[in-house]
Amino acid sequence: MRPLEAAFWAATLLPFVVTPSYLALASQVAITALFALSLDLILGYAGIVSLGHAAYFGFGAYTAGLLSKHDFGEPLTGLVLAAIAAGLLGYVTSHLIVRFRHLALIMLTLGLGLLLAEAANSASWLTGGADGLQGVKTAPLLGFKFDLYGRTAYAYSLAVLFLLFLVARRIIHSPFGLALRGIRENARRMPAIGAPSLAHLRKVYTIAAVMAGAAGALLTQTTSTVSLEVLSFGRSADVLVILILGGAGRLYGGIVGAIIYMVARDQFASMNPQYWYFWVGLLLVAVVLFLPNGVLGGLSALYKRPE
């Protein structure tokens, strides 16, 4: 790990001492960063544009919620099971997803996301419908209770983010990661050099679904609530915005994007809760105009200039 990376991860511990009253927000940021990281694997590296990625986040969130509702509240087991469940959903849907590109792909992911959200809404006997899932109780994590200040929540979310980040980092530096970049750069050429592109895409899509499911489970466990919002189109759109804001295909793009977006939303919303999306819109236009490769893309261009 390079010094800059080590410094970054050391800095993620700062909220414990510098802003202890914002640990709940910090935990949300870490969860959103993990969600954005999972989208980066499919969008930034493999070129799969998705407007329905919340399906896997929400599936993980509800799985973790249902487990703890039925007295199976041990968080680590819940996290693993929720991630596996989301991965299974990802694997099944990947067979459809990887056959399409461009506009058709956007419509398809959007459709699958809406489908799942509506299914969860109508299956209120299972999910609680619009009222949300009632009775979610997360057991202490290795003996640590989930406290009011969010200390355990942030430590837990951060640890999971860090571990899965290391996994994502290995993936993108592996031969498989290189093949994914090949698919992104030229999907037509890949079969002509003997690469089974669709199998590669199914695999990365499943891995991304596992990570998104883990992020969803973290949200359930750290907040002890699950609402339909976890499956909403808004969540899919937000994570896409976050990734583009930070810089897609850059590993840290999702994390940086999540920090900026979540902190900005917290600040703007406390100033003017109604018009929050006005500022999001402004931010998006500004990023597209001035930083087409996201914040990290802009920074790396600045860094390279003196050469």
Partner 1 sequence: MLSTKDLNKRFGSLVVAQDIALELPAGVRYALIGPNGAGKTTLINLLTGLLAPDAGQIFLAGREISALRPEARVRAGLARTFQINTLFAGLTPLESVAIAVLEREGHAHNWWRALPAFGAAIEEAHGLLAKLRLAPVEHRATRELAYGQQRLLEIALALATRPRVLLLDEPAAGVPQDESAELFAAIAGLSQELTVLFIEHDMNVVFRFAERIIVMVGGRILAEGTPGEVARDARVREVYLGKHARAA
The footprint of partner 1 (CB under 8 A) covers 170-171, 173-179, 181-182, 184-186, 188-197, 200, 203, 207
SS3 label, residue 144: strand
Nearer Cβ to partner 1 (73/177): 177
User: How many Cβ atoms from other residues are within 10 Å of residue 244's Cβ?
Assistant: 25
Residue 133 backbone dihedrals phi, psi, to 5 degrees? -80, 125
Query: Minimum distance between the CB of residue 104 and partner 1, rounded to whole angstroms?
Result: 20
- Distances in whole angstroms, Cα of residue 117 to Cα of each of 35, 42, 87: 17, 21, 17
Query: Minimum distance between the CB of residue 186 and partner 1, rounded to whole angstroms?
Result: 5
Q: Six-digit token pair at 95?
A: 């067979």
Alpha-helical (H) ranges within 224-275 are: 233-246, 253-271
Nearer Cβ to partner 1 (19/174): 174
Query: Minimum distance between the CB of residue 203 and partner 1, rounded to whole angstroms?
Result: 8
With tokens 């609402």, the residue in question is 227
Question: Is 11 within 8 Å of 158 (Cβ atoms)?
Answer: no
Nearer Cβ to partner 1 (172/256): 172
Query: Minimum distance between the CB of residue 234 and partner 1, rounded to whole angstroms?
Result: 31
Nearer Cβ to partner 1 (53/200): 200
Query: Minimum distance between the CB of residue 192 and partner 1, rounded to whole angstroms?
Result: 6
Q: Could you give the CA distance from residue 258 to residue 253 in angstroms, rounded to a whole number?
A: 8
Nearer Cβ to partner 1 (148/193): 193
Nearer Cβ to partner 1 (202/265): 202
Query: Minimum distance between the CB of residue 290 and partner 1, rounded to whole angstroms?
Result: 22
Element (H, E) at 173: none
Residue 102, exposed/middle/buried by CB under 10 A (0-12, 13-18, 19+)? Answer: exposed
